[in-house]
Amino acid sequence: MTQPSVKHSTDSDLDEFARLSLDEMGELGDTTAQFEGETINVFGGIPGEQVMVRIVRYRRRRRYYISAIVTEVLEPSRHRVPTPCPYFGPCTGCQWQHIDYAHQLELKRAAIERELTKYGTLSDVDVPATLPSPEQFTYRNHARFTVRRGDLGYVNRITRRFVRVERCMLMAEGINETLGALQGRSQETSQLSVRYGIHTDDTLVQPQLESADVSVPSGQTHYRETLRGATFRIASPSFFQVNTAQAEKLTDLVRSRLQLSGEETLIDAYAGVGVFAVLLAPAVARVIAIEESAAAVKDAEINAEGISNVELRLGKTEEVLDDLKVTPDAVVLDPPRAGCHPDVLRVICRVRPETLVYVSCDPATLARDLDLLVQGEYAIEGVQPVDMFPQTHHVECVATLKPA
């Protein structure tokens, strides 16, 4: 590969620039490139492009890093499109606005396939096309803002510079309305969270703001949202999918992959506020929902009121699952980004439910866990990518397994 040419500006920031050839898509949605004999991450590029970049050298946790940000595209990819957001680049919340949406979907599919092929047991797993999101923008129901001197915005993950934003194109309109009302008036806090019910128009703002300049209610303990006709209460610390419309499609997909007859005992592990438990309860004989967050279980109790075949268990999934005196017919796993505790996978391989559906937001930990399940004599029927997060590199997956 051609060695990068480097130039230094004469301004006070001593910016350092280089011409780079971009390689494959890497971690965090950045492309990779060779610079000074090592592989670096480049924000704002597409594999195969020739670009000029600004080099960013920084130190974190006693280690030095080098990253880069594209400043000029010399030879663009055919997949490059204009970015509609004026904050793209200074804000790194979106990594892929410059990539056409069809190619975003293919990159997400390829990222999953790349993680799976790191394991010999998973090299032949089928990964079909990514299911697109109904909305490419204005889909997020949850925002976390950094606050600097009362201004709301985001922090660039590479430069660590704060970017004030007047409107975020990923956020639902209700969140942007709240952002407008709070912008410049939030000196009381350094972080601010806004959650919004797309179908209910319900809003949660945390923390509570006492200033007379603040015109919107804040400090709510929970808000409500509906999915497929069911209403869910979600407390401030509880997890809920950020893309409401795609969350409905995700639950439909999980239901179809379970192939339920109505006679099953289903375990909903890492159940959160009980979305799968509540929506799948009419299709099974019994649901046992396991969740370790007390706040989420309290929500789930309210969300499952009047549903007689849903049982809630508070505790770590690996501990509750191991103590259950029940042999499940089906299991839904929806763990956090870190994936499943190894003991959860060991219990599943021992009790051997007939159908296992694993919902994951991290291809690397999904691949790690699927490898263990295959070693435990499970066969993978497929891994379906679902785009819950357009304009970013994040992707959801639904893996379906049966005993081999």
* Amino acid symbol at 318: E
Question: 132 preceded by cis ω (within 30°)?
Answer: no
For the record, the structure tokens of 160 come out as 């660590």
What is the distance between the alpha carbons of residues 165 and 156, in angstroms, rounded to a whole number?
Answer: 12
Cα dihedral 326→330→334→339 (10° resolution): 80
At 147, is the secondary structure helix, strand, or coil?
strand
Residue 341's CB is within 10 A of a number of other CB atoms, namely 17
Residues 270, 336: contact at Cβ < 8 Å? yes
Rg (CA), the chain: 23
Give Cα separations from 348 to 101, 265, 318, 404 (angstroms).
37, 14, 10, 13
What is the distance between the alpha carbons of residues 101 and 109, in angstroms, rounded to a whole number?
Answer: 13
At 4, is the secondary structure helix, strand, or coil?
coil
Residues 253, 386: contact at Cβ < 8 Å? yes
Among 94, 168, 340, 361, the one annotated catalytic: 361
* Amino acid symbol at 243: N
Q: What's phi and psi for 50, nearest 5 deg?
A: -105, 125
What is the distance between the alpha carbons of residues 91 and 99, in angstroms, rounded to a whole number?
Answer: 16
Residues 391, 170: contact at Cβ < 8 Å? yes
CB-neighbour burial class of residue 324 (10 A; exposed 0-12, middle 13-18, buried 19+): middle
Residue 53 zone, left/alpha/beta (φ > 0; ψ -120 to 50; rest): beta
What is the distance between the alpha carbons of residues 235 and 273, in angstroms, rounded to a whole number?
Answer: 9
91 in active site: no
Residues labelled as active-site residues: 361
